[in-house]
């Protein structure tokens, strides 16, 4: 199908973009990679009267490290994450996750800001941001503020973004040296959203799990931080019993929709399996 008519705007600065979004109000939508918004426009599920294209704003791009934190501009593409030596060295779970997003053509255009900001429960990066303790830098008509990823997601397609606000960058603390990680994703075909997925970041000490964070993708109307599931493996060597406890605790907070990917019980079941696989693969990485 063909999208409805709209006016096109290409601001040159964040301030100009915020001004446009504030002035035009609910009829305006920011355009990043466009892989979520444009298909919705083609189906007439979204009919914005104005598109504010962010590609002309250089300040929204790039990856930099300052101390023990890494900043990623919202318009940084998934391909640029994959090409970054800093990401590969310091935040390898981002690289692993980016490789599982859609296909190379999409990754050349799809942005990390678009992936985390639109509140789609099927997007992969939000759960990873939860386990990494990321925060989002937002700029709007009332100034700038930082919102932890754990407080950003409020419902399917509903986030902490206020009218006129724009997510401009993501700040992520660098995990401690020796940490391990995994992102396990079950999908029907290449390029599809997850039927269920789990992210794990953890450390071991003396053969036991010392710290652990587990995130869940597409198993609720928002990404989930499975706190009790992570607690279930702390102090364990990730034996079979501990893995099953973690899976059960994760399944207890899942509330996926029944859709073409399967009924609720099936999606919860495979969600638990993704948790166990992610934990097991993170352990295997440590040898």
CATH number assigned to the domain comprising residue 241: 3.30.390.50
Q: Are residues 91 and 159 in the same domain?
A: yes
Q: How many folded domains does the chain comprise? A: 3
**Residue 57 in domain:** no
pLDDT value for 34: 84
Q: Which of 173, 202, 228 is the last residue of a domain?
A: 173
Report helix, strand and coil shares of the chain as percent, to nearest 5: 40, 25, 35
Q: Are residues 271 and 233 in the same domain?
A: yes
**Residue 56 in domain:** no
pLDDT value for 44: 87
Q: Are residues 146 and 201 in the same domain?
A: no
Q: Are residues 81 and 169 in the same domain?
A: yes
Range of the domain at 15: 7-51
Pick out the chain residues at pLDDT < 50.
none
pLDDT value for 40: 82
Q: Are residues 68 and 168 in the same domain?
A: yes
Q: Are residues 150 and 69 in the same domain?
A: yes
Q: Distance between CA atoms of 73 and 267, rounded to whole angstroms?
A: 33
Q: Are residues 240 and 268 in the same domain?
A: yes
Q: Which helix (H) or strand (E) holds 272?
A: helix 264-285
pLDDT value for 2: 83
50 close to 6: Cβ distance less than 8 angstroms:
yes
Q: Distance between CA atoms of 90 and 104, rounded to whole angstroms?
A: 23
Q: Are residues 81 and 109 in the same domain?
A: yes
**Residue 1 in domain:** no
Among 236, 259, 207, residue whose Cα is nearest residue 276: 236
Q: Which helix (H) or strand (E) holds 16?
A: helix 14-24
Name the token pair of 83. 């090409």
CB burial class (10 A; 0-12, 13-18, 19+) of residue 45? exposed
Among 285, 193, 188, 272, residue whose Cα is nearest residue 232: 272
Give the pairing type, strands 50-53 and 7-9: parallel
What is residue 24's DSSP assignment?
A: H
Give the pairing type, strands 196-205 and 180-186: antiparallel
Name the token pair of 149. 């990823």
């Amino acid at each position: 199908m063909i999208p409805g008519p709209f006016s096109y705007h290409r601001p040159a600065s964040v301030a100009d973009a915020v001004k446009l979004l504030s002035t035009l109000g609910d009829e305006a939508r920011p355009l990043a990679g466009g892989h979520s918004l444009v298909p919705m426009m083609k189906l007439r599920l979204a009919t914005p009267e104005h598109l504010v294209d962010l590609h002309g704003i250089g300040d929204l791009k790039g990856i930099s490290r300052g101390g023990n934190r890494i900043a990623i501009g919202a318009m940084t593409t998934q391909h640029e994450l994959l090409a970054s030596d800093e990401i590969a060295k310091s935040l390898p779970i981002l690289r692993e996750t980016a490789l599982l997003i859609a296909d190379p053509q999409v990754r050349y255009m799809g942005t990390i800001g678009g992936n985390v900001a639109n509140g789609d429960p099927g997007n992969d990066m939000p759960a990873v941001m939860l386990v990494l303790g990321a925060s989002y830098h937002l700029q709007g008509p009332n100034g700038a503020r930082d919102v932890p990823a754990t407080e950003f997601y409020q419902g399917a397609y509903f986030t902490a973004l206020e009218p006129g606000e724009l997510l401009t960058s993501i700040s992520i603390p660098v995990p401690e040296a020796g940490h391990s990680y995994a992102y396990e994703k079950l999908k029907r075909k290449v390029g599809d959203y997850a039927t269920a997925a789990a992210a794990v970041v953890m450390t071991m000490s003396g053969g036991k799990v010392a710290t652990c964070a587990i995130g869940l993708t597409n198993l609720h109307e928002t990404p989930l931080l499975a706190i009790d599931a992570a607690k279930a493996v702390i102090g364990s060597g990730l034996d079979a019993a501990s893995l099953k406890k973690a899976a059960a605790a994760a399944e207890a907070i899942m509330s996926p929709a029944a859709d073409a990917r399967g009924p609720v019980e099936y999606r919860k079941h495979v969600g638990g399996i993704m948790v166990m696989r992610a934990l097991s693969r993170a352990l295997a990485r440590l040898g």
